[in-house]
Chain A
């Protein structure tokens, strides 16, 4: 178990206040924040390269705050990897084992297994200058893992890679984690990485922790507008509680004249009439109803008529920009290409959309 408590860092214009992170043994935790939010500073402080203003760090039962970096047992893969250019891949990988004077025979089998999982047998005698971007990432990851660190710190591990190589490295990271279970803290600004790899995450915006939780809980239920916006949420609206329908256990929200029905189970707080809230629905959860098709009960509550303003083509899906007739509310709708082909949609066409109640998220 890794515990970071009350970490406060003041450096130049950066101010990071009261950061708390807990990572279970073998967990893969993400620290997610916008670019330039001081994520690397946090890693450097955890590693011991920078002295935080306050804060305590435990690795297992041992508090490491007062220890120099070399005695913390934390390996670090920086964004630029910093592979030692004067050493071959093999020497880079064995650097930590040699620096710690560990018994090479004990580690040999483990390192060999790592090399096999990372598929880099053929690269071991090369210097970093003769490796591709993806190959360097693999060697850097292996170098960090070879001395069996108690905590692995990754700084934007998938940045600067071609899309196809990025996918490869993502899979490798996943395999690596599944095979060797290194306790990992990874900082990134890319939610896609989190979605593929993470169990838990801490969302960190403007120097403060905004939300901590399991990947899906944060993704589907951002606690604040700030988090929702950071996660790239579209369809975010300011709404007002209009009335409380006790018989059906629903709250009716008004969004610029449009009435949206939401189940009361969505609310943790008490919602009094007139209260202002943020309403959010992901673009892939908005459905366009095919005329003549049966509509499920869960969709019947929120059906709105309107016009398609524009359709744009993405790699695997189309984005449809739709405006309701009532209230002129704009929705961004994401439709997979195979579904799009069956819908016969075009710009200017009048259609009906449905918002699934369970997919609506209300932030007080």
Chain B
């Protein structure tokens, strides 16, 4: 039984470690100041900004990522491996480096043209969305590809033989069958965007009431020794995180078709 207890003990240690970390936050939570920090317009702004930016970034990541995931899952084509490898770039490059790369890009003639003719990204809200999109697009594609891989292409083959076009086979068969996996991928990608800091702060800056998302607000609160605000924001971030994980867990429950 020693073996069993050692293994379970390790798992319990990890749990206690994270739980202790979260619980320690409550040590500094004092009633009135806490509520003041929570209801401060800057705090509410950063919460709203984070929710909106993460949702929009996830939306774009799904729009581009789902067809890409399908292509990588179902088709063989030249350059597939290179494309697949590139999806991991945001995972291996430091977020700050990614943000810095954007800053450099927007100083090139093409970048300047985009900013002059269209949308301004540097130190603007679209910059937050772009930074978050860049961080999660690869991940979202990867996760959605894994969900699509689980669905046998044979279903589509049969649907095609029964008269469905490739589009119809996708939305009548593959999409409903992989729906839960795709939803879990989307939730996880959203959570990743929601917590994104490095690329966002580098590209969009940390301007209160303008480009300040929750992780950025935590950073600025700590920098100005506003511990109450930092803790409030951390707790909200943890709360959203746990909700997200719960959501993913729910989608993981195998759907019984009955």
Contact = CB atoms under 8 A, between A and B. Distances in A.
Given A86-B176, A99-B168, A130-B258, A75 B157 contact: no
Interface stretch (A51-59, A77-85, A111-119, A296-304): A77-85
B163 A70 contact: yes
B155 A44 contact: no
Nearest to B161: A76
B168 A82 contact: no
B42 interface: no
Contact of B162 (A88, A147, A153): A147
Contacts of B154: 78, 80, 82
A273 interface: no
Contacts of A88: 257
Contacts of B256: 129
A80 B233 CA distance: 52
Contacts of B159: 84, 95, 99
B157 A47 contact: yes
A263 interface: no
A110 B152 CA distance: 30
Nearest to A94: B162
B68 interface: no
Interface in B108-151: none
A77 B155 CA distance: 10
A165 interface: no
B145 to A, nearest CB: 20
Given A76-B157, A78-B154, A80-B154, A99 B163 contact: yes
A144 B159 CA distance: 10
Contact of A82 (B158, B164, B255): B158
Nearest to B157: A49
Given A49-B160, A75-B161, A96-B163, A127 B258 contact: yes
Interface in B78-111: none
Nearest to A153: B161
A69 B161 contact: yes
Interface residues of A, number: 32
Contacts of A44: 157
A128 B257 contact: yes
Nearest to B173: A84
A150 to B, nearest CB: 12
A95 B157 contact: no
A79 to B, nearest CB: 9
A143 interface: yes
A74 interface: yes
B165 interface: yes
Given A84-B173, A86-B177, A147 B258 contact: no
Nearest to B165: A70
B240 to A, nearest CB: 31
A99 B161 CA distance: 10
Given A76-B158, A96-B162, A127-B258, 18 more contacts: A48-B160, A49-B160, A69-B161, A70-B161, A70-B162, A70-B163, A70-B165, A72-B161, A75-B162, A78-B154, A84-B159, A86-B176, A86-B177, A99-B168, A100-B163, A129-B256, A149-B161, A153-B161
15 contacts: A49-B160, A69-B157, A69-B160, A70-B160, A70-B164, A74-B161, A77-B158, A82-B155, A82-B157, A84-B158, A84-B159, A84-B177, A86-B255, A96-B163, A143-B158
Interface of A: 44, 47-49, 68-70, 72, 74-78, 80, 82, 84-86, 88, 95-96, 99-100, 127-130, 143-144, 147, 149, 153
Interface pairs A-B: 10 shortest CB-CB: A96-B162, A127-B257, A100-B163, A99-B163, A69-B160, A76-B161, A82-B154, A99-B164, A82-B158, A86-B176
